[in-house]
Amino acid sequence: MNAWYPAVELVKTCLRAGVSEYVVCAGARNAALLEALARAEAAGLVRVWRHFEERSAGFFALGRTMETAKPCAVITTSGTAAAELLPAIIEAHYQGRPLVAITADRPAAFRGTGAPQSIEQPGIFGGHAFQGSFADWDGRQPLHLNAEFEEIFETGDENFSAEQIGEFSTAKDRLDVAALARWLRADLYKGLVVMVGGLEPDEREEVFHFCQDLGVPLVAEATSGLREALQSLAIHDADRVLKARPPGKILRLGEVPSGRFWRDLETLPNVSVWSICRNGLPGLARESNVTRGPLDRVISALGPIEFADDALDYLAGAASRAVKIDELLEIYPDSEPALLRTLSHYASIGGGLFLGNSMPIREWNLFAQWDRPVPSVRANRGANGIDGQVSTWLGWSAEVSETWAVVGDLTALYDLAAPFVLEQIDCQGRVLTVINNGGGKIFERLPRLQTMSPRAVEWMTNPQTADLSGLATLWHMDHLRIRTVDDFDHVQPGEKTLLLEIVPDPAQTTAFWAAWDRMHG
C-alpha cells in the first residue's frame, strides 16, 4: 500500500486536533509523513523543528508544550528510535503535558520476526502515555500514535490549502473543595505552612493573593515565579527550620517541592498534608490528601480566605537567618553558593530562567538574590531526573531572547546533542550556565557517603575532568570560564549563545558548607 495517503490523513488528523508544532527526526520509515508535514508547513499551518537525536528531540518538544500549553508532536522512525522517547514521555506524564509521540513503524507482520528495525512499538511507553486516538485523549498526559507505513511511497498533489488548525482543549475536573475548605480552617493552632512548587503562568496571580490573604509562613520555590514576591512570608533555610520543629499542617500548591523537608514528610505521619496540583498526584507514599485541578480554579472555588497567621512563630527568626546566610556568602565569595548568588543577579534580568536538577535548583532556592522578582522560571520536576534538561530549556525558550539555564556539569554532559537546534532558535542573549564542580557533588552532602568506601564514593560522585570549552566549539557557542566573583565583570551575552562555565573554588566551597553545618549546630 502506498504510504503517502495514510501519512496525509495522519497529518490532517493532527491538525484538526490542534497540533501545530512538530519536532522531526527523519528516517526512511517516516519519509512520507515528513513530506506531508513539509506541505502543511508550506501552507502556513505548522511550525516544524528538526533534530537528529530522538531523546533530545523528545525533551525539546516537551519544552514547547511548557511554553505554549498546547500539544507538540515528536516524530521518529521505527525501531529503537521510538524507544529513545521514553525519558521525555515519562517526564511529560508526571508533569501532565500534552506531548504527542508519533512513531513510524513497519507493518504489523514484521513484529516478532527479527527483521531490521522491527520491535514491539505499540504500548512501548506503558502507562506513561495514552495509546489510542485523539478522540479518546483527555489532553492531560502524553499521547502515543504508532503509524505503520510501507517504506516506498509516491506522492500525490495534496497541498493542505483547505485545512485549518483545530482547537485544543483539555478535560476539566469537577471541583469539590468543601473538605479542603474545612481542612484549611481546622487546627490552625498546630501551625500551617504553605509549600509552593512550580506553577503555570495563569496560576500565579491567584496563588499570590491566596498566600497573602492566608498570611501563614511559606516556602516558595523559584519555579513558582513567586519566590521574591512572597519573601515577606518566606522561611529562610526552611529544610532545617521545619525539620527541627515540624508544623501540624502542610499545604502544597503546584509541583512537588525540591527541598529536603518534603521528603522528610514521609517519616512525619503526624503532619497533615494536602496537595493542590494539576496532575492529581500526592507526591508522597504516605497518607495525604490531594485536590486535582488548575490552582486558579481551585483557589477561586474556595471563596474568601480567612487570615491564619504564623501560629508557631517561624517568621520571628527569618530576618536573622537571612543575614547569617548573607554573611557566609561574603566570607566565601568564590564558593559555589556565593558564585550562584552573584550569578542570580545577572540571570534575573533575562527573559526567562531554567533550573536543572538537582543541585542548581536547591542552591538557587537557598542562595539566589531576593531583590528582583523572577516570574518566568521553569524546571523538569516530574521525575526529578537530570535527563534532557538542556533540550527542555531550548524548547521552552526557543522563541524568547535573553534566556538563561543553570545546570550541573554531569547534566550538561548527559545532553550533549541538545545544542544541535541552536541554529533554529532565538540565540540573542542566550546563556547556558554550567556549574562545573567536577562531578556529582550533591552526593557528597549525603550523610551515608561518610560510611562508604572510597571506591563506592567514586562511583556515586562520578568525578570528571571534561574541558567544556570543547562543547562550546562543537556547537559554535561563545565560552567564558568563571573562577572568581570578579570574573563576572566579563559576562556579556551577545548574538551567539554563551556557554558560561562556573568553576567554584573547592576549598572555599568545602569551608562554606562546614561553616553552614556549624551555624545550624
What is residue 439's predicted lDDT score, i.e. its pLDDT?
Answer: 87
Please count the other Cβ atoms lying within 10 Å of the Cβ belonging to residue 465. 7
CATH superfamily, with its number, for domain 332-519:
Thiamin diphosphate (ThDP)-binding fold, Pyr/PP domains (3.40.50.970)
What is residue 444's predicted lDDT score, i.e. its pLDDT?
Answer: 72
Measured distance CA(141)–CA(415) in Å, rounded? 24
In the sheet that 143-148 helps form, which strands lie side by side, from edge to edge? Answer: 47-50, 21-24, 72-76, 99-105, 143-148, 130-131
What is residue 341's predicted lDDT score, i.e. its pLDDT?
Answer: 98
Please count the other Cβ atoms lying within 10 Å of the Cβ belonging to residue 218. 26
Query: What type of residue is 32?
Result: A
What is residue 461's predicted lDDT score, i.e. its pLDDT?
Answer: 87
Strand partners, 246: none
What are the backbone angles phi and psi of residue 304, rounded to the nearest 5°?
A: -60, 140
Cis status of the peptide bond prior to 358, with omega within 30 of 0: yes
Measured distance CA(221)–CA(255) in Å, rounded? 10
Q: Pairing between strand 218-220 and 143-148?
A: unpaired
Residue ranges per domain, the chain? 4-148, 178-316, 332-519
Q: What sign results for the dihedral spanned by CA atoms 397, 401, 405, 409? A: positive
Angle formed by the axes of helices 359-367 and 336-347, to 10°? Answer: 80
What is residue 218's predicted lDDT score, i.e. its pLDDT?
Answer: 98
- Helices marked H in 69-203: 80-83, 86-95, 178-185
Angle formed by the axes of helices 506-519 and 318-331, to 10°? Answer: 150
Question: Of 96, 100, 22, which Cα lies nearest the Cα of 66?
Answer: 96
What are the backbone angles phi and psi of residue 50, rounded to the nearest 5°?
A: -120, 150
Task: Please name the residue that has the C-alpha cell 545544542.
Answer: 419
User: Measured over all CA atoms, what is the biggest interatomic distance in the chain, rounded to whole angstroms?
Assistant: 75
What is residue 171's predicted lDDT score, i.e. its pLDDT?
Answer: 85
Q: Cα torsion at 165, 20, 89, 119 (round to 10°)?
A: 90
Contacting residues for 140 by C-beta, under 8 A, at least 6 apart: 96, 98, 170, 171, 278, 279
Measured distance CA(153)–CA(35) in Å, rounded? 10
Q: Tens of pLDDT along the chain (521 residues)?
A: 688 999 999 999 999 999 999 999 999 999 999 999 999 999 999 999 999 999 999 999 999 999 999 999 999 999 999 999 999 999 999 999 999 999 999 988 888 899 888 899 999 999 999 999 999 999 999 999 999 998 788 898 888 989 999 999 998 888 999 999 999 999 999 999 999 999 999 999 999 999 999 999 999 999 999 999 999 999 999 999 999 999 999 999 999 999 999 999 999 999 999 999 999 999 999 999 999 999 999 999 999 999 999 999 999 988 899 999 999 999 999 999 999 999 999 999 989 999 999 899 999 999 999 999 999 999 999 999 999 999 999 999 999 999 999 999 999 999 999 999 999 999 999 999 999 999 877 777 777 777 889 898 888 889 999 999 999 999 999 999 999 999 999 999 999 999 999 999 999 999 999 999 888 76
What is residue 521's predicted lDDT score, i.e. its pLDDT?
Answer: 62
Q: How far is CA 231 from CA 211, 221, 346, 355, 445, in A?
A: 11, 11, 20, 19, 27
- Do residues 478 and 290 make contact, with C-beta atoms less than 8 angstroms apart? no
Task: Please name the residue that has the C-alpha cell 567536577.
Answer: 438
Same fold, 178-316 and 332-519: yes
Element (H, E) at 146: strand 143-148
Measured distance CA(254)–CA(273) in Å, rounded? 13
Strand partners, 431: 404, 498
- Helices marked H in 314-446: 318-331, 336-347, 359-367, 389-396, 409-413
3-class SS of residue 232: helix
What are the backbone angles phi and psi of residue 228, rounded to the nearest 5°?
A: -80, -35
Q: Cα torsion at 187, 190, 191, 196 (round to 10°)?
A: -70
In words, the CATH class of domain 178-316 is alpha beta
Measured distance CA(506)–CA(383) in Å, rounded? 30
Contacting residues for 301 by C-beta, under 8 A, at least 6 apart: 175, 177
CATH superfamily, with its number, for domain 4-148:
Thiamin diphosphate (ThDP)-binding fold, Pyr/PP domains (3.40.50.970)
Measured distance CA(291)–CA(277) in Å, rounded? 7
3-class SS of residue 431: strand
Q: Pull the grid cell for residue 262.
A: 518534603
